[in-house]
Structure 1
């Protein structure tokens, strides 16, 4: 590599002492050495700051203002040409930052390079986490290329581009990635690539995952209305149709216990839901076998149902709450 631009790794953190050592160890083992580490602890009550103090990083402490504000604070203190955002529950592959810099050097039109979570969890604590890890991996791998949604738990932005765009909207702590990605795409390209990869510690409890996905779906509604288009990448038309079949199956399920006709209709909707993303299930079957695939299908139906009702709630709120309706319009 002819030049070695400084890469500022910004790590927002809130009570991730479990995963933090692996996250920071992965930075110590990067093949690319021209980095600085900016650790923004957002009011943790565990020993995260103590752990970070054992590593060569600059520590900034804030008062639980959310991930978007923590990332913005990190960039404001960054010296590098490239800012690499890394959540504290992700451990990078050794070549991740080097490959990121190479992608920027190959294509000057890139404003951002985002990575993909590996198909192996950082800590595999449950079958639910195994489901979530494989599902996230497949959706991102199948979307590899130029996209509009960012993944800034594991992604880089040119600092000049970040400053030009004004950073993340700090009121968005569940959909800030897609919003920032769409603004970036107005003048730059965003690359999603498997060359930048890390292991992620995902949710391992179904209730916790369902709550997160419901809220994420709810917040998508005003975003779509104001941007007037879906994100380019893993949100495919077929997957959208699949969600509609899940919604129909939710309505049919109570009646299916009393009527063979409704049971048949429910099973038909379930089959169409599976067909709408068939590649995902064949991937899981090859990776984990038949019985886990059955578990995967059932769990994915539950999570997709939760997302469907999140969208329904979002639509109702969009038409009844001016504050929610303007959430993405002004970034306030």
Structure 2
């Protein structure tokens, strides 16, 4: 019988960890072991995990999610590793469904899931932006993909060992770097049968700062990626439409011209319309869940996020040797987070 080790990395996660672990205990296929790697928390995370019966491994200093996940792998025995973020709760059948995918298709070494369209804890409009955006891009890309997000993901231990551990030097984009290596060795499936509710960020400035940190290494990571990560029939995982990124970049570039020559602002306005309409399923999703007024707010935040993303990609491009920038920029747009 296949054994499953569920690994939860956490740092100061007391707000959500109890809900997270209670959802694990309610699984139709309960993991054979539950390990919480406490990454030098300053709150009661470790005590909560122990109270709920998880085995707790405490790191003496904060080393980041990559190190916490690697530590969890080194201290577990399961044939399948199920990684779960501490701010995510699983739908009761999530582990069972992930395991079924891996067992049904031996060529598939990793199955990961998407978020539900409601936040775990409702903290306001910015969080709703994040959640609905994530639901949209996850839903439209289900199937065989070229990347993975380890917020709720199952991977065979043998596949993980063959691929190697997470890069502990990365505090952001570790999933993207790992996915570049993983897709060279196995099939990766994004499925809507593995689902969870996420307590996402709820303040705009920290979210923009996070987007900046994530955008900077995207092009350098694309340059360093193995060459064959595309593959026939595989979808590249990207959180935002490449056409939307291009429309935003062109709008940003056209604005200075419009300030000097006001009629050119019509071009900027047209590009903003293109940006707003480039992803009809996203507009429909937001409108259905939150209504027309919130849809307008959503698109304003969405554009702000894109401005930061485009700027970060441009700065990241400066870190790449000139001869490799064009290919790297194309690859980064296809794998941005």
TM-score exceeds 0.5: yes
1:33 equivalent to 2:36? Answer no
Q: Which residue of 2 aligns with 1:164?
A: 162
- Residue number in structure 1 paired with 2:297: 295
Choose 93-102 or 250-259, whichever is displaced more: 250-259
Deviation at 1:258, TM superposition (A): 6.7
Matched residue, 1:61: 58
Question: What is residue 22 of structure 1 aligned with on the other side?
Answer: 19
Q: Quote the offset at 1:260 in angstroms.
A: 3.9
Instruction: Indicate yes or no: 2:147 matched with 1:145.
Output: no
In structure 1, C-alpha distance between the alignment counterparts of 2:245 and 2:19, rounded to whole Å: 36
- C-alpha change, 1:109 and 1:81, in structure 2 (3 Å) is same
Match of 2:47 among 50, 54, 60: 50
Q: After superposition, give the CA deviation of every residue in 1:101-123 in whole Å (9 maximum; x if it has no partner).
A: 11111111111010111111111
Post-superposition shift, 1:30?
Answer: 0.6
Residue 233 of structure 1 corresponds to 236
1:245 and 2:247 correspond: yes
RMSD: 1.9
Deviations, residues 168-226 of structure 1 (Å, cap 9, x unaligned): 11112211112212211112100100100000111101111111111111111111122
- Helix, strand or coil at the partner of 1:143: coil
Stretches (4+) displaced over 3 A: 228-234, 251-260
Q: Kindly state the Cα deviation for residue 257 of structure 1 after the two structures are TM-superposed.
A: 5.8
Counterpart position of 1:327: none
CA distance in 1, matches of 2:223, 2:167: 17
**Matches of residues 170-209 of structure 1 in structure 2 within 5 Å?**
170-209=168-207
Count of aligned pairs between the two proteins: 316
Deviations 1:63-101 (A, max 9, x none): 211100100000001110000000100001110001111
Alpha-carbon separation, structure 2, partners of 1:95 and 1:253: 50
Give the match for residue 329 of structure 1.
Answer: none
Q: Secondary structure at the match of 2:217?
A: helix
1:93–1:197 CA contact under 8 A, matched in 2: yes
Tell me the equivalent position of 2:277.
Answer: 275
Where 2:318 maps in the other structure, the secondary structure is helix
Query: 1:224 touches 1:230 (CA, 8 Å); kept in 2?
Result: no
Partners in 2 of 1:261 and 1:111 — Cα distance? 55
Give TM-score scaled by structure 1 length: 0.90
Unaligned runs of 5+ in 1: 321-332
Distance 1:230 1:207 in 2: 33
1:211 aligns with 2:225: no
Task: Provide the C-alpha distance between the structure 1 equivalents of 2:120 and 2:257, rounded to a whole number of angstroms.
Answer: 41
* Displacement of 1:256: 4.5
Match of 1:324 in 2: none
